[in-house]
């Protein structure tokens, strides 16, 4: 019996050792496979970012091919840089939510740190610029069903490029002021061809803004008058609207008002918020007031789980203002997140052009020009679609005091255009007119951009882009 017992103990010990060795081998193998997979994924990602597209593999041969490039919504209409909204004061990140951000680049961007941003904020924009440059290079190499078809393709490509250069300039360049020399300040890389081997350097700020205006002006000439069934394709009203937004950003108020008025002459329909159900993502994907559809991407910085609406902004909505219920949702921490996005998305935010924005641009420009009654009329026109239907507007006489009227218009811009990337543009231009100051409070530490810092602020270009392109850093 003792011998049998000893044999069994010996067998158990041997089997235990065998299983331990096998487990160690298996564990090491699993770690090896995980490590190999990680290395492979990183290598693949780097190769993807470094590999230049081979034009021979996808040379457009027909007008349909060119239109298909422009109809690629994820590349053309989406994936705009979300840095402008991250930089502004519409949203903030509670301490724990900031710490939960995986990417150090996005934590730094939130604090306006002088460190390179994530590469996709640059590469996604130049990906769409490459696409439209490819279209423009083949515009005279294919046949069309009509001259109108050719003009529309040509103009849409230019419009996309002009808006992309503007968006890049708003985050990677210091603010530009009309009439102020900018030959000694850095602009963006003005990529105007599909030549992947073209050796370019950064332009000057003056050259960048000349190119933006040139692209938008040329696009307006050839865009069709009648809008398409879906606002992912641009008609002339979108061209006017894009130009109005751009000119407002550089303080050219007379011209901005003219183009906003021109856009509204072609399309002025507003969504009536009295008819919108109070549910998550309450707005139709392509609702009636959208002139041109686009949206930005900002990793987790602007997601509903992380971003919280500035309490002062939320408190600025009156109880009779339907946007207070339709735009926001209270979270467990007592703060509000933004759910009133026109793209029905969590991470992404609608950045497109709307009739409501054009009304506010025209109102501001009229107010600055002393056309107070016209400005007030536009504000009331918008608010009738935003407040409860029985709200009494007779007491809202703003035009007697131009300063009061202008302040109300600027407040309505902020309340109406939450998440759309234009607040940062407003902050930049307002810094030349008033003492404006931005502050973040994180773990009891204050991070500030004062008036002078705003006028001299630009995000740093991604380090990989600097290394590959040999560009000068901000």
Q: What is the pLDDT of residues 167-196, one digit of tens each?
A: 999 999 999 987 776 778 999 999 999 998
Encode pLDDT of 427-449 as tens digits: 999 999 999 999 999 999 999 99
* 3-class state of residue 292 by DSSP: strand
Region 258-276: mean pLDDT is: 97
Region 118-128: mean pLDDT is: 96
Q: Cβ–Cβ contacts within 10 Å for residue 179, how many?
A: 7
Mean pLDDT over each residue of the chain, to the nearest integer: 88
Q: How long a stretch of residues is the chain?
A: 474
Encode pLDDT of 50-78 as tens digits: 334 444 446 899 999 999 999 999 999 99
* pLDDT score at 201: 95
Task: Answer yes or no: is pLDDT of 248 > 70.
Answer: yes
- What distance in Å separates the CA atoms of residue 321 and residue 275, rounded to the nearest whole number? 13
Encode pLDDT of 359-373 as tens digits: 999 999 999 999 999
CB 379 within 8 A of CB 408: yes
Task: Answer yes or no: is pLDDT of 89 > 80.
Answer: yes
Encode pLDDT of 313-355 as tens digits: 999 999 999 999 999 999 999 999 999 999 988 889 999 999 9
Q: Which two tokens stand for residue 158?
A: 């230019």
Encode pLDDT of 192-229 as tens digits: 999 988 889 999 999 999 999 999 999 999 999 999 99
Dmax of the chain from CA atoms? 110
Task: Work out the burial of residue 41: count CB atoms within 10 Å of its CB; fewer than 13 is exposed, 13-18 middle, 19 or more buried.
Answer: exposed
Task: Answer yes or no: is pLDDT of 39 > 80.
Answer: no
- What distance in Å separates the CA atoms of residue 300 and residue 96, rounded to the nearest whole number? 13
* pLDDT score at 345: 84
Region 10-25: mean pLDDT is: 42
**Alpha-carbon distance values, 410 to 382, 419, 430 (Å):** 14, 15, 10
Encode pLDDT of 408-420 as tens digits: 999 999 999 999 9
* pLDDT score at 50: 37
Region 140-167: mean pLDDT is: 97
Residue burial 229-255, b: 16+ Cβ < 10 Å; e: rest: eebbbbbbbbbbbbbbbbbbbbbbbeb
The region of weakest confidence among 106-120, 158-172, 193-207 is 193-207
Percent of the chain topping pLDDT 90: 79
Region 14-35: mean pLDDT is: 40
* pLDDT score at 47: 34
* pLDDT score at 40: 34
Task: Answer yes or no: is pLDDT of 29 > 70.
Answer: no
pLDDT tier at 231, thresholds 50, 70, 90? very high
Whether the model clears a pTM of 0.75, i.e. scores above it, the answer is yes
- What distance in Å separates the CA atoms of residue 223 and residue 120, rounded to the nearest whole number? 30
- Which residues, in sequence order, are bridge partners of residue 442? 445
Percent of the chain topping pLDDT 70: 88
Region 289-299: mean pLDDT is: 93
* pLDDT score at 181: 65
* 3-class state of residue 295 by DSSP: strand
Residue by residue, DSSP assigns 398-414 as: -TT-HHHHHHHHHHHHH
Residue by residue, DSSP assigns 310-374 as: -HHHHHTS-TTBTHHHHSEEE-TTS-EEE---TT--SS-EE--EEHHHHHHHHHHHHHHTT-HHH
Region 141-150: mean pLDDT is: 96
Q: Which two tokens stand for residue 203?
A: 């332009």
Encode pLDDT of 391-409 as tens digits: 998 877 777 789 999 999 9
pLDDT tier at 384, thresholds 50, 70, 90? very high
């Amino acid at each position: 019996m003792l011998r049998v017992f000893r044999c069994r103990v010996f067998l158990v010990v041997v089997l235990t050792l065998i299983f331990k060795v096998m487990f160690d081998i298996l564990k090491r193998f699993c770690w090896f496979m995980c490590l190999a997979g990680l290395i492979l994924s990183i290598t693949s990602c780097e190769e993807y970012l470094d590999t230049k597209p081979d034009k021979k593999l996808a040379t457009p041969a027909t007008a349909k091919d060119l239109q298909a490039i422009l109809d690629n919504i994820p590349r053309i209409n989406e994936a705009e840089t979300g840095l402008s909204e991250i930089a502004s004061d519409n949203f903030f990140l509670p301490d724990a939510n900031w710490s939960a951000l995986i990417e150090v680049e996005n934590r730094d961007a939130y604090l306006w740190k002088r460190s390179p941003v994530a590469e996709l904020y640059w590469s996604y924009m130049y990906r769409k610029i490459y696409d439209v440059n490819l279209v423009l290079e083949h515009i005279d190499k294919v046949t069309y069903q009509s001259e109108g078809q050719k003009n529309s393709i040509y103009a849409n490509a230019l419009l996309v490029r002009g808006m992309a250069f503007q968006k890049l300039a708003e985050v990677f360049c210091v603010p530009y002021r009309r009439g102020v020399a900018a030959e000694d300040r850095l602009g963006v890389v003005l990529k105007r061809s599909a030549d992947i081997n073209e050796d370019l350097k950064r332009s000057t700020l003056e050259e960048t803004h000349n190119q933006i205006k040139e692209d938008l002006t040329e696009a307006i000439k050839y865009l069709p008058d009648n809008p398409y069934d879906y606002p992912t394709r641009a008609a002339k009203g979108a061209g006017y609207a894009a130009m109005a937004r751009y000119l407002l950003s550089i303080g050219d108020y007379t011209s901005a008002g003219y183009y906003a008025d021109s856009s509204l002459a072609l399309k002025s329909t507003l969504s009536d918020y009295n008819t919108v159900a109070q549910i998550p993502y309450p707005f139709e994907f392509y609702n009636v007031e959208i002139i041109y559809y686009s949206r930005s991407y900002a990793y987790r910085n602007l997601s509903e789980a992380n971003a919280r609406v500035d309490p002062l902004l939320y408190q600025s909505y009156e109880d009779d203002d339907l946007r207070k219920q339709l735009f926001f949702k209270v979270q467990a921490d007592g703060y509000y997140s933004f759910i009133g996005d026109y793209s029905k998305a969590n991470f992404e935010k609608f950045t497109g052009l709307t009739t409501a924005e054009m009304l506010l641009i025209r109102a501001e420009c009229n107010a600055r020009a002393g056309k107070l009654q016209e400005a007030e009329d536009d504000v009331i026109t918008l608010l009738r679609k935003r407040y409860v239907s029985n709200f009494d507007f007779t007491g809202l006489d703003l035009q007697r005091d131009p300063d009061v009227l202008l302040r109300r218009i600027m407040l309505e811009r902020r309340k109406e255009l939450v998440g759309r990337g234009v607040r940062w543009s407003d902050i930049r231009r307002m810094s030349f007119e008033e003492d404006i100051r931005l502050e973040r409070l994180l773990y009891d530490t204050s991070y500030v951009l004062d008036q002078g810092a705003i006028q001299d602020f630009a995000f740093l270009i991604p380090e990989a882009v600097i290394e590959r392109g040999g560009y000068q850093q901000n």
